[in-house]
A and B are shown apart, each in its own frame.
Chain A
Amino acid sequence: MSELLVKNAYVIDPINHIDGEVMDIAVKDGYIVEDVGPKAEVIDAGGCLTLPGGVDSHTHVCGTKVNFGRYMSPEDMRAGREVRRGVKHATSGYSVPTTYANSYRYALMGYTTLLEGAMAPLEARHTHEEFSATPLQDMMANTLFDGNWGVMKAVAEGDIERVAAIVGWTLSAVKGFGIKLTNPGGTEAWGYGKDLRCIKDEVPHFGVSPAEIIEAMIRACEMLRLPHSVHLHCNNLGTPGNYACTIGTFNLVPDLNKTRQSLYATHVQFHSYGGSDWKTFCSKAEPVAYTVNNLPQIVIDMGQVMFGKTTTMTADGPMEFNLYRLHHNKWSNHDVELETGSGIIPVLYRKKNLVNSIMWSIGLELALLVKDPWRCLLTTDNPNGAPFVKYPEIIALLMSKKYRDAEFATVNRRTESRVILPSLEREMDWNEIAVMTRAGQAKALGITGIGKGHLGIGAEADIAVYPLKVGEIDPAQEYQKIIDGFSKTRWTVKRGRPVARDGEILVHGENTTIWVDPKISPAHDMSRDPEFTEMFNHWYSVRMSNYPVQDEYLKRNLRMETEATI
């Protein structure tokens, strides 16, 4: 039995409607409780800003693609080297750090729960191996279905129940969390070097369109009662003029769930581009944000771009090839049979570059224009827009118009005529930041019920104490203090245990892998479906019996069982 008392905490806990109350937080055996005994370990927060542990609802930190990013980039590894010390392993890497480095850096910033945005089902075991090696955060993985043959065939036949059955079986088999669609249909087309432009194009050989796939998957997701909605990387990422496709996609989405969104659209910055080519490239954050404001069934994340070096990686293979042809540095591509693909290239976002400057502006515009912070979450699509260590700077940009103006003065001059950022006056408050970095993310993921993203009684004791005195700082003016404060917690508490203090990692912990296991009726059990098993064994290069991720790959895990309606 372990007990901990965090005293004098200046708490902001949006889910429990606490906005700046100085209070004590009692913790017992990893959960928040009413009270603890006199022997409890005490941490004095000293009136500092105390938030629920950070949640990242879209990041790329573990898996075959991430690891390939490391594998191909020794130059990146040399950037983040730290020596082994105490419980801390040696680390390497800046934009695609090693597993340990990712975990330590997130912990120092107060993050305790991460969602890996894209797991190829055939390679799921790898993701879980890296999860097991991630000491300080709870992990979950969205599972890619964008080119799944079984799904596309069922969609073509109009059989949504079968779509749900295939998704449900796969999630259980690969110990995945939710549905990820990356350029739906487009990755299948990329199997033969082609791409789709938008949601009405037909996927070669399968006679379905992205629009049909997306809609069917949204319905299937609800049938399975998954905690999270469909998580979509829209078609046509990164292309001038793609905002129309994005808006078209949003307008398709039915409102099917009372408790959360029906669609989570990720890294919308990359999907809010105007113009007809790179010469006329401009921001279309306004119409996209307007659409989001009008459709309560949609939640987005920013996918903010920040200047500097990074490595882009996405399951969107054709997009990465196009990007490679622009940058011409190096290019990796990895198509994974049946389900999905991926591409990786290093990039350098430069302030001098007009396109990069516009991209930087678009992310901020989206965040400032979407009225409800619960519906626009703070991400960089790590590491695509920037490595996650840039989050504190993004927070400061959202809280300070002065900082935005100062930065804007340093970007490409011609940006001014292509964006509306300088005209946006909004400055976010502490509560909005808490929503965008934890409460909103936990809610969108559907994990508040398992005690994530808040500090109510019974919640997991994931707590971040930042060296920030809310009453004494004016974020609009003193933005450097915001950046410093959010970069390094005074304490990060994970499941009731202090794991980081003032930039030091204190323990080698053990995470929980959260996965979803929909309970489906035997009639819809795909492992007994002759057509499905025959297809699997005939065309996949791994036998169906060898495909599911064995239990031993999940060290500590939380299985969320759902009562599917099929």
Chain B
Amino acid sequence: MIHEDMICPFCGCLCDDLVIETEGTEVVRVDNACTLGSHKLMNAGTHRLKSPIMREGGAWRDARYEEAIEYAAGILLDADRPLLYGWSSTQGEAQGTGVSMAELLGGVIDSTTSVCHGPSILAIQEVGHPGCTLGQVKNRADLIVYWGCNPTEAHPRHMSRYTTYADGYFLENAFRDRKLILVDVRKTETASIADEFVQVKPGGDYAVLSALRAIVRGREDVVPPTVAGVTKEQLLRVAALCKEAKFGALFFGVGLTMSPGKYKNVRNAIELVDELSRHTKFTLTPLRGHYNVYGSNEVFTWMTGYPYAVDFSRQIAFYNPGETTAVDLMARKECDAALIVASDPGAHFPKKCLEHLASIPSVLIDPMHTMTTPLVRCQIPTAVTGMDAPGTAYRMDGVPIHVKKFMDLGYPTDTEIIGSIFEKVKEVRHP
């Protein structure tokens, strides 16, 4: 069977023009997706856990869904400070149920945002966010800046769908008329097609952004001959390119948010865009990784007022990144039970946190074995949103997209499983 206009549930680009061919429960062909997306989709039915598994003694045993759900509800109810973490590769509906459950439990809910673009959000909360949807960039931008990211490998279709290689309504010859600037600490694939490659010494982003801001403001006199390994000459060239552009779009990745300076880097980038907006049109967009990490921020925000790291232990929504973020909570050994949903802290968190995770009762909701599996006590497999479950996801620019289902392997969805756990919780802790 051929499924047209399908949506790729991998990265924040949420490409929605895929053609997927299935034979029964096998995916036999994927057109239009990049290697990352194809790989995920082609293996849609493989490597799936057959049923829930629970740890018994030192070994795993199969369990029934009912039993695993009962266990999950039990550990959450028993905990004083349960943590509900993950949420970036699942549907918005599951995220909403998760928030309601965290609220009733008096727990903490956090998404993978706290280890990727959390700093971007902190910066936005200080100075705002001059942004736009990706279609605006595609149709208007004659200058693209990628900063601290490598779209060629992490968001392979970003350039063909929305930037460098995309046709633009207001551009005669988009490919030729568009300029590309790449700023990074190392020379990546993307550098080979850039008009300017600005190689910054590690940790130097803040200084380079400040220098550019000074130049745009007309204060090039304060800029020294080199800034974090970048020559003044090149900085002047880059600033001129930015000012000359009719529409500039700056994209940035974890290379900026997680390098020294963290949210201050992003703040500086936003203020550069603000400065440039006095001369021309300029926008900024965080390159979000997981296909629905932005959705978790949206759902958490309309339900609680805060985009991530929400603590309900006081019965109100409390937010203090650094205190209520998952990594910090685990490092302080504060949480005493964890529900991990659609994410893989085992692959990303510091060792100290993982040691704590391994020491507390925990449940992982994920279709496959991951690096987190060895650390938890129970795993419940579910359908994959965008393959065997439909749902809502938010693209990196905030556009909500209905992700579709194209096959049925008989697994329950994340929303169903979390909903069932929530029902059990409600039986004990009445709203």
Interface residues of A, Cβ cutoff 8 Å to B: 62, 64, 67-68, 70-74, 77, 81-87, 89-93, 97-100, 122-123, 125-126, 129-130, 133, 149, 190-193, 205, 321, 324, 330-338, 341, 344-345, 538-543, 545-546, 550, 553
**CB pairs A–B below 8 angstroms (26 shown):** A70-B305, A72-B125, A83-B315, A86-B431, A87-B431, A89-B303, A90-B316, A98-B304, A123-B400, A126-B298, A129-B392, A129-B400, A190-B281, A191-B136, A191-B140, A191-B247, A192-B246, A330-B126, A332-B128, A337-B135, A539-B139, A541-B135, A541-B138, A541-B162, A541-B399, A553-B402
Contacts of A82 in B (CB 8 A): 316
Contacts of B161 in A (CB 8 A): 541
Quick check: A90 and B315 within 8 Å, CB to CB? yes
Q: A83-B316, A123-B398, A192-B140 are in contact. Are A337 and B133 (CB under 8 A)?
A: yes
Contacts of A541 in B (CB 8 A): 133-135, 138, 161-162, 399
Contacts of A539 in B (CB 8 A): 135, 138-139, 167, 169
A466–B138 Cα distance when bound, in Å, is 53
Smallest CB separation, A194 vs chain B (Å):
8
Smallest CB separation, A126 vs chain B (Å):
5
Q: Does B368 contact A (CB under 8 A)?
A: no
Q: Does B208 contact A (CB under 8 A)?
A: no
Smallest CB separation, A538 vs chain B (Å):
7
Given contacts A99-B302, A341-B132, A545-B5, 4 further A-B contacts (CB under 8 A): A83-B316, A333-B131, A335-B283, A336-B132
6 nearest A-B residue pairs (beta carbon): A337-B135, A92-B305, A193-B281, A77-B305, A330-B128, A83-B315
Smallest CB separation, B144 vs chain A (Å):
15
A396–B350 Cα distance when bound, in Å, is 59
Q: Does B232 contact A (CB under 8 A)?
A: no
Give B278's nearest chain A residue, CB to CB: A325
Give B274's nearest chain A residue, CB to CB: A331
Quick check: B128 and A72 within 8 Å, CB to CB? yes
> Which of A86, A99, A149 touches B303 (beta carbons < 8 Å)?
A99
- Among B140, B247, B302, B399, max chain A CB count under 10 A is at B302
A98–B298 Cα distance when bound, in Å, is 11
A498–B137 Cα distance when bound, in Å, is 49
Q: Does B16 contact A (CB under 8 A)?
A: yes
Quick check: A542 and B401 within 8 Å, CB to CB? yes
Instruction: Tell me the count of chain B residues lying within 8 A, CB to CB, of chain A.
Output: 62
Smallest CB separation, B246 vs chain A (Å):
6
A74–B400 Cα distance when bound, in Å, is 23
Q: Does B336 contact A (CB under 8 A)?
A: no
Quick check: B124 and A332 within 8 Å, CB to CB? yes
Smallest CB separation, A106 vs chain B (Å):
15
Quick check: A543 and B302 within 8 Å, CB to CB? no
Quick check: B170 and A334 within 8 Å, CB to CB? no
Contacts of B319 in A (CB 8 A): 74, 77
Q: Does B317 contact A (CB under 8 A)?
A: yes
Please, what's the 1-or-0 string for B61-85, where 1 marks a CB less than 8 Å from any CB in chain A?
0000000000000000000000000
| 8 Å CB interface, B147-175 against A | 161-162, 167, 169-170
Quick check: A100 and B303 within 8 Å, CB to CB? yes
Contacts of B281 in A (CB 8 A): 190-193
Q: Does B92 contact A (CB under 8 A)?
A: yes
Contacts of B130 in A (CB 8 A): 331-333
Q: A70-B301, A86-B431, A133-B303 are in contact. Are A332 and B136 (CB under 8 A)?
A: no
Q: A74-B125, A123-B399, A193-B277 are in contact. Are A338 and B305 (CB under 8 A)?
A: no
Please, what's the 1-or-0 string for B282-302, where 1 marks a CB less than 8 Å from any CB in chain A?
010000000000000110011
Give B130's nearest chain A residue, CB to CB: A333
Please, what's the 1-or-0 string for B7-18, where 1 marks a CB less than 8 Å from any CB in chain A?
100000000110
A86–B429 Cα distance when bound, in Å, is 11
Contacts of B139 in A (CB 8 A): 337, 539
Smallest CB separation, B57 vs chain A (Å):
39
Contacts of B306 in A (CB 8 A): 74, 77, 92
Q: Does B367 contact A (CB under 8 A)?
A: no
A27–B131 Cα distance when bound, in Å, is 49
Smallest CB separation, B400 vs chain A (Å):
4
Quick check: A331 and B315 within 8 Å, CB to CB? no
Give A344's nearest chain B residue, CB to CB: B128
Q: Does B22 contact A (CB under 8 A)?
A: no
Quick check: B317 and A337 within 8 Å, CB to CB? no
A546–B169 Cα distance when bound, in Å, is 21
Contacts of A89 in B (CB 8 A): 100, 103, 303
Q: Does B210 contact A (CB under 8 A)?
A: no
A125–B299 Cα distance when bound, in Å, is 12
Q: Does B104 contact A (CB under 8 A)?
A: yes
Contacts of B131 in A (CB 8 A): 332-335
Q: Does B231 contact A (CB under 8 A)?
A: no
Q: Does B96 contact A (CB under 8 A)?
A: yes
Quick check: B167 and A538 within 8 Å, CB to CB? yes
Contacts of A123 in B (CB 8 A): 398-400
Contacts of B4 in A (CB 8 A): 545
A190–B136 Cα distance when bound, in Å, is 11
Q: Does B280 contact A (CB under 8 A)?
A: yes
Quick check: A84 and B96 within 8 Å, CB to CB? no
A72–B131 Cα distance when bound, in Å, is 13
> Which of A81, A192, A333 touches B247 (beta carbons < 8 Å)?
A192
Quick check: A122 and B133 within 8 Å, CB to CB? yes
Quick check: B317 and A92 within 8 Å, CB to CB? yes
Q: Does B228 contact A (CB under 8 A)?
A: no
A539–B274 Cα distance when bound, in Å, is 27
> Which of A68, A86, A205, A338 touches B135 (beta carbons < 8 Å)?
A338
Quick check: A92 and B133 within 8 Å, CB to CB? no
Smallest CB separation, B345 vs chain A (Å):
24
Smallest CB separation, B390 vs chain A (Å):
8
Contacts of A338 in B (CB 8 A): 135
A122–B314 Cα distance when bound, in Å, is 37
Please, what's the 1-or-0 string for B224-252, where 1 marks a CB less than 8 Å from any CB in chain A?
00000000000000000000001100000
Give B307's nearest chain A residue, CB to CB: A71
Q: Does B127 contact A (CB under 8 A)?
A: yes
Contacts of A330 in B (CB 8 A): 126-128
Contacts of A68 in B (CB 8 A): 129, 398
Smallest CB separation, A467 vs chain B (Å):
28
Contacts of B392 in A (CB 8 A): 125, 129
- Among A81, A87, A100, A541, max chain B CB count under 10 A is at A541
